[in-house]
Amino acid sequence: MRSKAPLALIEQAVMVLVFALAAALCLRVFLWSDECSRRDEACDRALLEAQTAAETLKHAGGEEDQALEAASRALGGQVSHRVWSLYYDETWAVSGREQAAYRLEAQPEPTGLAGLRQVRIQITGADGAGSSPLAELTVAWQGEVGPHG
């Protein structure tokens, strides 16, 4: 009579292999889920920061350049060549460019309508290389109608 021990050992080895594969798949799904969650959290926070910037610009009113300067004084960052840049670290605290994980840029856009001022706000990763924006919105307000519109 032959022993069934080798067969039982093979069955156990196959079961361990199946469980190991299932565990590897579960781990991969958990990591993917965590990555998606972090990305969604960053998008939510970016939208909040973009809305704050938009409200600050609207409150400042006036010409686009004046509004950008006022927003820069209120929230931080700097204005250069009609673009307001503001940098955030990993925790969304305003930071310098060197420690930045995210970048807000606000740039005036022409409207074609006299007295209507418009600025596009975009938040991307600090490097901004090839990634889609985390948040993007356009804010418009009524300014003074001057001789040049």
Q: Which pLDDT tens digits describe the chain residue by residue (149 residues)? A: 677 778 888 999 999 999 999 999 999 999 999 999 999 999 999 999 999 999 999 999 889 999 999 999 999 999 999 999 999 999 999 999 999 999 999 999 998 888 899 999 999 998 866 678 999 999 999 877 655 54
What kind and span of H or E run contains 83?
strand 83-88
In a domain, 147, yes or no: no
* Contact (Cβ atoms closer than 8 angstroms) between residue 120 and residue 147: no
pLDDT at position 12, please?
92
pLDDT at position 115, please?
86
In a domain, 133, yes or no: yes
What's this model's pTM, rounded to 2 decimal places? 0.77
In a domain, 103, yes or no: yes
Count how many domains the chain has: 1
pLDDT at position 149, please?
47
* Contact (Cβ atoms closer than 8 angstroms) between residue 67 and residue 119: yes
Domain range holding 42? 5-142
In a domain, 117, yes or no: yes
In a domain, 55, yes or no: yes
In a domain, 149, yes or no: no
